[in-house]
Structure 1
């Protein structure tokens, strides 16, 4: 964010209301959210959404007004100015893409103040008011949205308390439980959610056919964009911000690969994603289609980039640029390339307030300059840049059509272009109230019902394919342009059968090497274990330990080899291998400690003694394990106080005792 960082410090000697006035004054002068220019307005323009031609606004209306989609009445003073200042300050500290949830939280807080008889006074906010605001949100919003609003209320309360605008006894928490995610793969709800978020087989078949059969510009445009969304798991706004040179040919280690240069969103940076080999031809054809369909609009955009003050006129009537006045037919020819649309042209000049003059026998005439000014007003507000993409010039954008070209009933302007927004792509995919491309080609679902698919369904579908293909969570997050791996969970729609399928195939093909083998285990009866006199036991890296952790923690810090409670069992190959690995490691550590001792490093002598002691005990244990006279199953324990070795085994087991001085005696 280019705006300067705000920092407000409350004055302890001032009352809360005085500090709030200073806070409002600071935020009112800030450039954050263009506050210095629009603070006195109750409807703020916050810029354009990515991939959309509509502007984002913050409307400081009351809760009651928002319920009926009205902008008035506005929030009551003095809360109104405080709400504006809070929005500015929070956006400076914790910026968000959309302010809707934050504004909703302010509405519920103001309504709670009025409901508690506090007269919309910010300094009167307390725990009861905050709880009331959460309850209002819970009653009026869905569980998921209410939870987000409650989170913003908690953030607002922390700010107000930290700046001494209010006094809370302790940090306030909203207390709402996060809505439960569908964690089951076999429940009815999860199956319905899967079917709702993923495109059906009928949808994929229909789109493939339309992609190859389409001849009309809008059919080509919609099918080509959906094809690109099936080449990589991109959001609709990212697809609509592609440049005309988005295709990338790999070199170096990516030689022979074809990728697409995507614009990032939701915090992710711009990136090149290499297209799977099977989809390269689809991606290339889709981009080629879009370049061809958008070429007339691109030529118009390029004209206005080079001639921002002059109207674009197609070549066949270029001579009209020299006329001072135009007839109705000539106006129609400039606008729509059809001089027979005189009635539409007449309505257009009246709607744009263009005065007429008499041209004698030719009838009424209209000033070329006035017509030109009216047409130039149709340029995008952010021209020469694409709405919601301040880094992309209109003439370089792939998402261009001529004005009204996407409308089935309106005449297409031949003198003006239009940036494609998500509605141009999503409405023809079956959105209620709009004719779909599936109807145009007579495609339906397998049960005969009308097809409706969301553009985001393709992202869910490709994520599921990536999971089924064995990609890791990190790879899927990178593949999908996410900053947080945890967001993958919302796109995991694999059924239990699909999860188990790889294991089933591996077993059928005999690929069971990585599975844990079934081994026989010699279990000990409880009565036998009690008779051994051992109070407790648990396995270790080299055997098992008799220490009772219920009485005290390990006094040896898990240095099992130098502990007299360590018991080894001869015949356990894995633990014997661990012991031999320890010997190699200890010998290496001892050599390093001896070298450090030679260099007179501080503390080296202690390590030499410790490693020598450890190595000696390891060698003693290995000598017993290698002794053929000791049968498998013998229990071996070294005594650190030079006591003889204690072995507990069956009567057939030979018992040995070994001390640190390597004295042995048979018993």
Structure 2
């Protein structure tokens, strides 16, 4: 059995959850590395140091996950789940994510199923870091960036705060999307400016709450009726104002058959809500700096917006807008239906998957996709690649019609009559899939691989994507390995060892093919992204 390592995160860096309460409403001290649970029969202790987690992000996610289980499930279930988590080190996917503070996905489930008696708890809820919708919602109003390129073109990008203590970054948009992105940002700045103006006013007048002109900066002892409170806040009626003030701890006084408050009570209630919003603002930042600020209740389907309380756009608002929940989604309201006649449902992370698929189908290199998506490790691209063989086959057919493909197939297409080219391409590129050093256009549904996976050994169905750094690095690694094997096989054949000849022949083909592949990648006369058949 593999020895379980102890956590290498500094002992003082434990993500304390304070005191939490279990399902029986009994307190549990969750502030340190060891938690003692309230079990009726036995002593149950959870020692998080035994999980062997190295990255602070993963440790925080796991701790929060266990804290949620303590509050909602039995002690036995918590203990069993914790024991299963000790097998994390056996997962290659976990070790990769732990090394870069990345995000775990469903591959962890499939790997841990190999553990005896493993129960598939909802481990897919473990996330190592705030995901990309948070980066977007945390964008500041001065986010517009332009970059003039050597060819005279101007790129447009959106500046955002880096996550996981990474430096701030600028995400540039594709050239064709530049006018749309610029217009979208300007519209957002215009629509959200009133809430930023409210926030700026309160920053310039500490201790006072923003109110419409009629009530702004009046003496705090000025009496206000419930009708005035409703008008100042934008509530639908005086009864709503009365209830809101009661929720905030203020009771009206009765005079002359009317209910009265002091303006100071109203402003105190407003400032208490603004203080809650400010808890989401990092130290040293101002609320007025952020782009996605809206009046409180702005997205509520029934209540009126409350202008004096600027709040952030939340993920739940995005979810309701795209998927539905408290109200109807945008697809329901506009009657945009899928092939089955049901409204589309697009999770907030869906566009990210969609754009990554477009990049993959466009043969953008893994390194460029990772940089564009803001990832530390190119291996994380795999979770976002949903391209099948048929879409990639279509891409190959289009490339064969252009100057973006070189080799015998491209030369054959040029020689064919225009009317015959499409049928030839459909037959030749019915499907395609990526390999570790390029792309294979063999249709495996018709026959197994005739080269037995030896793509570089002169296979006519294998093609290179010039400039793909991941493919180049793998080709260089394979070349070193096969050169060593060729030397060994050659020496063995010279010594008269039986059956050494086929090994010399095979490794010779691999070395020759890999050298040609590396030469293509390093050829300055071939444009990056060109598909080359060697």
TM-score normalized by the length of structure 1: 0.48
Supply the distance in 2 between the matched residues of 1:32 and 1:486 (Cα, whole angstroms). 28
Supply the distance in 1 between the matched residues of 2:459 and 2:252 (Cα, whole angstroms). 93
1:513 corresponds to 2:402 = no
Gaps of 5+ in 1: 1-6, 10-25, 44-58, 116-131, 139-145, 155-174, 181-233, 519-537, 555-559, 561-573, 579-667
Supply the distance in 1 between the matched residues of 2:374 and 2:327 (Cα, whole angstroms). 31
2:62 is aligned to 101
1:366 is aligned to 261
Contact between 2:7 and 2:53, CA under 8 Å: does it hold in 1?
Answer: no
Supply the distance in 1 between the matched residues of 2:348 and 2:195 (Cα, whole angstroms). 24
1:247 corresponds to 2:140 = no
List aligned pairs for 1:77-476, cutoff 5 A: 79-80=36-37, 86-87=47-48, 94-96=55-57, 99-102=60-63, 136-137=80-81, 150-151=87-88, 178=111, 235-251=132-148, 253=150, 256-265=154-163, 268-318=166-216, 320-321=218-219, 323-336=221-234, 341-360=237-256, 363-381=258-276, 383=278, 386-387=280-281, 389-390=282-283, 392-476=285-369
Aligned residues: 381
Superposed displacement of residue 279, structure 1: 0.5
Supply the distance in 1 between the matched residues of 2:222 and 2:247 (Cα, whole angstroms). 21
Superposed displacement of residue 445, structure 1: 1.9
Query: Is the alpha carbon distance of 1:108 and 1:502 closer, same or farther for their aligned partners in structure 2, counting shifts above 3 Å?
Result: closer
Between 1 and 2, higher relative CO (CA 8 Å, sep ≥ 6) is seen in 1
Alpha-carbon displacement from aligned partner over 1:242-272 (angstroms, at most 9, x marks no partner): 1101110114648622111122335654211
Supply the distance in 1 between the matched residues of 2:156 and 2:203 (Cα, whole angstroms). 31
Supply the distance in 2 between the matched residues of 1:438 and 1:373 (Cα, whole angstroms). 40
Supply the distance in 1 between the matched residues of 2:400 and 2:179 (Cα, whole angstroms). 36
2:438 is aligned to none
Superposed displacement of residue 281, structure 1: 1.1
Superposed displacement of residue 102, structure 1: 3.7
1:486 corresponds to 2:379 = yes
What secondary structure, in the 3-state scheme, does the structure 2 residue paired with 1:416 have? strand
CA-atom RMSD in angstroms: 4.7
Query: Is the alpha carbon distance of 1:325 and 1:86 closer, same or farther for their aligned partners in structure 2, counting shifts above 3 Å?
Result: farther
Superposed displacement of residue 423, structure 1: 0.9
List aligned pairs for 1:591-602, cutoff 5 A: none
Gaps of 5+ in 2: 1-5, 92-107, 114-130, 410-457, 461-484, 505-511, 517-534
Supply the distance in 2 between the matched residues of 1:487 and 1:443 (Cα, whole angstroms). 32
What secondary structure, in the 3-state scheme, does the structure 2 residue paired with 1:250 have? strand
What secondary structure, in the 3-state scheme, does the structure 1 residue paired with 2:307 have? coil
Superposed displacement of residue 354, structure 1: 1.8
Contact between 1:32 and 1:92, CA under 8 Å: does it hold in 2?
Answer: no
Query: Is the alpha carbon distance of 1:453 and 1:390 closer, same or farther for their aligned partners in structure 2, counting shifts above 3 Å?
Result: farther
Superposed displacement of residue 442, structure 1: 2.5
Query: Is the alpha carbon distance of 1:438 and 1:333 closer, same or farther for their aligned partners in structure 2, counting shifts above 3 Å?
Result: same
What secondary structure, in the 3-state scheme, does the structure 2 residue paired with 1:296 have? helix
Superposed displacement of residue 152, structure 1: 7.2
